[in-house]
Amino acid sequence: MKDLMGRAIWDYFKNQNPEDLQTETSISELDELPVDYLFRNFDEMNAIEQKALKLSQGKVLDIGAGAGSHSLYLQNERSLDVTALDISPKSIEVCQLRGIKNAIVQNMLEFSGETFDTILLLMNGTGIFQSLNVIDVYLKKLHSLVNKYGQILIDSTDILYMFDQDEDGGVLVPATGYYGELDYVVHYKGEYEDPIKWLYLDFNTLKNAAENNGFKIEKVMQEEDSYLAKLTKK
């Protein structure tokens, strides 16, 4: 793994000629992702992120922590016990340099030994599930990491709006597979990584998968095509 996201985060934090990231998917062209977006403070975050951070309580696991902005807010402003988790070594280095006390480089499927009152998966948190074929593996893992009365706060976007419509208003989606399963590519400073699988979920599909894996689920918030969901153990 080239860790381009982590390198961009590192370059920005260290002021070493950072450039904006570029991302593309199997259904969208190259798009700019300003690196400073990953360093936003609470007031600069969107309403879904703010709501999730307000609802967070107890011992928190921030999965896909990136530059650590969510973890930093919960640790410093809410005085919560937070663990920042990411597969990007450079991102976790920056988390540590920013003052996050518990920051770990590891895939969530390999992380164990602790349970949490709140688990956060934000900025399209369902992306980490990759595809519907393996979503049960991730949900079972999350079930093992959350306390009996704990909560998982996760957001996603229903990307049906990105597909063309026919004359009758029907949406033209691929005949094979679920329309939210995309290939996602990160570009930085002229380099790019191999495509990764990334999953955007409509709420009902997430609801069915969650309920099949021992969770109750409620939609906490809806913002246009995006939503925040809360999962708790049945």
Domain positions in the chain are 4-159+171-233
Prediction pTM value: 0.94
* pLDDT value at residue 163: 79
Which one-letter DSSP state was computed for residue 228?
Answer: E
CA distance 206 to 89: 29
**In this predicted model, what pLDDT tens digit does every residue of 82-97 receive, in sequence order?**
999 999 999 999 999 9
Tokens of 144: 């093992």
Domain 4-159+171-233 bears CATH identifier 3.40.220.10: no
**In this predicted model, what pLDDT tens digit does every residue of 136-173 receive, in sequence order?**
999 999 999 999 999 999 999 999 888 766 666 666 66
Task: Give pLDDT < 50 ranges for the chain.
Answer: none
CA distance 154 to 206: 10
